[in-house]
Structure formats: C-alpha cells, structure tokens
Amino acid sequence: MNSALRRREFLQAAIAAGTAVASGGMQPGFLQAKEPRSANEKLNLAVIGVAGRGGANLSGVSHENIAVLCDIDDQRLEAAAKKHPGAKCVTDFREVFDASNLDGIVCSTPDHMHAVVVSAALKRGLPIYCEKPLTHSVYEARVLRQLNAQAHVPTQMGNQIHAGANYRRVVEIIRSGAIGAVEQVHVWQGGGVRSFPNVMTSAPPPHIHYDQWIGPAPFRPYSEAHFHYNWRYWWDFGGGQLADFGCHFMDLPFWALELGAPTSVFAKGIKGHDGDNDCPMKMQVDYKFPARGGMLPVHLTWYHGGLMPEGADVYKMGSAVLFEGTHGRLIADYGTHKLFMLEGKSAVPVKPWISDSVGGHHHEWTQAIRTHGTTSSHFEYAGNLTEAVLLGNVSYRAGTAFDWDAKALTTSSAEANKFLKRDYREGWTL
C-alpha cells in the first residue's frame, strides 16, 4: 500500500472516530450538556486569552459572570482580573476545566491553539465561542466539525460581522435574484503582511509562560517578531491575511450563495522576504465551487496586499466583496452595499426576511446556551468556511493548483496533502 493511500485511510478513520493524531490516544466519552439556564440567571464563563481580540470577546460576554480568566501573559491577566475581581486566574488553559460550574468557554488564543482548546471543551459537553479562523489547519477544522456534531452544544465562531444587519440585507438581495445568477465573486482585503527580515531571539520576559504559549506548534526560541499579534504572519502559528480576514469577507458569499466545499484551488503570492515560515505579503487565490440546488457554479477569487480585480479601483473600496450577476453587480463591505444594474435591468426592492441579530454575535451564543438553541456561525457552518479559506494557504505553500476531494479530505497533489495537517509537538493532542 502506498504512503498516500495509507494516509488517506488514516484520515478517514480519524474523522469517523472523531479523534485526532498527535501523541496518540482515543478521545474520552462526551459529557452530558447542562440543562438550559433561566433568562435571569447569569452564565458562568471562562475566557481563554484576555487581550487584543480576547479583550474584545471578554467585553462581549461581560454581561455574564466571568468565572475563570486564562492567559499566558501575567501582565495581561492581571489587568483583566482588575475588571473581574471574582474570577479565578490561571495561565494554563487546561486548568480552566478544573472548574465544575462552567456554562461555556470563550477561546481567543492564537490560531495554533484553537483546536486543542475547542476539542477539550466539546469533549466535556461545554458550549464554546472561538475566534476566527476556527482552526490552524484544514484537518483540525474537519475534526472539530465531527466533535461538534457529537457534542450537541451551542458553538459560535468569532466572525462577528456575520451578526451585522448589512450582511443580512446582502444575503437577501443575492438570494432574491435581484442581480440575476451569480457565477463570479471577487473578494479583496486591503491590508498586507508585516515583514520581519531580522528576527532577533531572546529569553522570554519573566511574565510570559512561553512553553504554554507554544503549545502544539514546533518549538521556536522566543522572539517579539512572532509573539503578541505578530504570530499571525508565521505559518507555525497563524495563516497570514487570508486566515485572518478570509472568514470575515468570504463569509458573505458563502452565506449568500450557500457555498460548500470547493472543487479546485489555486493560489499565488509574493513574499516580503526570504524564508520558509513567513506568510505572503500579497496573494491571490482562485476557488471553483460546483453547482448547488439549482444555482450555477461559482468562481471566487480572493486578493490581499493591494491586489484586486481589474477595474475595481472605480469602486474606491479598500476591502470589499463584489458579486457579478447576469443582471448587475453588488458590492459590499462590512457596513455598506451598493447595486449596479446592467442597462435595461432595474433593481426590485427586496423585503427583509432574515431577522436582525438580537444583541450581536456574543449575545447570540449566550442566548443559545440558555435555550439550548443554535447560532448563525455555528461550527458546522464555520468549519466548512474555515476549511475553504485555509485551502488557499495549502495551495500557496505547496506551490501548485489542485482538485479537492472534501469527502476524502485529500487533494490531487501529494505535495499539497503535506500541508493539510501537521504533527503536534510531543505531549500535545486534540
């Protein structure tokens, strides 16, 4: 049996069992989810990662009782604890699960830690809110989708623009057929990746629990160039602009056009400097999606770092999603949208039918915990979106286009398959 076939069968077996491979071992049995809470009773939440996006998420759930705070940075943890003096403070996320009274977990770690935190929560039957992208690798996303299906608890990925009214109005317009059948979508994000040509290493500051921060990633000596915030521009810890913003901007066409898995992916880009671990400064990714439910196949193209489709400068939007239909075009960003109808075609007003979010993305999740309900960016939807986004990075790193077999979790390229997952550092598992 050749190595590609062995690996393919192994992945399928792992997905079917809801397990992941790192240091071995089967997952524990799932714990029973808690009974619904009353509307007036505050939830007991743990927040893992308390600054940056973690600080925003902590603020977003501060209407509940913050029972546990966790961060590998003692200074950040101390600052958060002053605002929540009743919370237990820990530096190792595994200690969070020692608390017996938790109703949910908020995960705002760097990308490379998402899957291990989320996996631990789902196996314990705990609802969880996790920052985007849901995972660091395509394989992790598939495993979490399986665990999510077994856990039956409210989940939400932190692509918070999904809860905004603008995205909902765009989805209604596209699905109504106002611009006709859509076969082409362009998505561009104006930011670029920071360049770090001179990476200086040093001993970690005394307030940093660095080994815990590294977690399952390959060990690298401490450097400010890959630490707080900067981690997202290195393959060991993040996925560059595509992983950072893809789950925000590509969310809109995925929702509006009901996209599933792509059938082919091709990425190309430009690096800021030489090196095998830094993400591209500029990037273009072409995704092909099949026909679905009477809708035509879709060609979606992602751009970042100043790249954009030809003629897009006329719209004067640094970041946007452009739908091209047979009757016209619609362009949108986080908070606005505009229609451009072809000659002889007129826009028909669309009556809103998607309810606005009550309270926003975080409130959706806490309300779902109370009622055993669902959310709009639950991990099945978010996992599908994350898989597609991260396949762009797989193509770029492999340096090749490939066909994607979503059911088998494999590409048509042996080189690309190497980047679907990675081995965890010794002692770490999903």
Structure tokens at 137: 């690798």
Which pLDDT score, from 0 to 100, does residue 359 have?
92
Which pLDDT score, from 0 to 100, does residue 398 have?
96
3-state secondary structure the chain: CCHHHHHHHHHHHHHHHCCCCCCCCCCCCCCCCCCCCCCCCCCEEEEECCCCHHHHHHHHCCCCEEEEEECCEHHHHHHHHHHCCCCEEECCHHHHCCCCCCCEEEECCCHHHHHHHHHHHHHCCCCEEEECCCCCCHHHHHHHHHHHHHHCCCEEEECHHHHCHHHHHHHHHHHHCCCCCEEEEEEEECCCCCCCCCCCCCCCCCCECHHHHHCCCCCCCCCHHHCCCHHHHECCCCCHHHHHHHHHHCHHHHHHHCCCCCCEEEEEEECCCCCCCECCCEEEEEEEECCECCECCEEEEEEECCCCCCCHHHHCCCCEEEEEECCEEEEECCCCEEEEECCCCCCCCCCCCCCCCCCCHHHHHHHHHHHCCCCCCCHHHHHHHHHHHHHHHHHHHHCCCEEEECCCCEECCHHHHCCCCCCCCCCCCC
More confident residue, 200 or 3: 200
Which pLDDT score, from 0 to 100, does residue 235 have?
95
Which pLDDT score, from 0 to 100, does residue 18 have?
36
Fold of 163-197+210-341: Dihydrodipicolinate Reductase; domain 2 (3.30.360)
Residue pair 172/178 in contact by the 8 Å Cβ criterion: no
List 107's β-bridge partners, or say none. 48, 130
How is domain 3-160+359-378 classified at the architecture level of CATH? 3-Layer(aba) Sandwich (3.40)
In the chain, where the domains are located: 3-160+359-378, 163-197+210-341
Q: How far is CA 200 from CA 30, 89, 272, 281, in A?
A: 44, 31, 17, 20
Quick check: 195 pLDDT over 90? no
Which pLDDT score, from 0 to 100, does residue 14 have?
39
Quick check: 347 pLDDT over 70? yes
Cα 252–chain centre separation: 14
For 11-28, the pLDDT digits (tens) are 444 334 333 333 222 233
For 223-271, the pLDDT digits (tens) are 999 999 999 999 999 999 999 999 999 999 999 999 999 999 999 998 7
Which pLDDT score, from 0 to 100, does residue 38 have?
64
Q: How far is it, in rounded angstroms, from Cα 41 to Cα 37?
A: 6
- Could you report how far apart the first and last alpha carbons of the chain are, in Å? 27
Stretch 135-142: mean pLDDT: 98
Banded model confidence at residue 39, pLDDT cuts 50, 70, 90? low
Which pLDDT score, from 0 to 100, does residue 3 have?
39
Which pLDDT score, from 0 to 100, does residue 28 have?
38
pTM for this predicted structure: 0.91
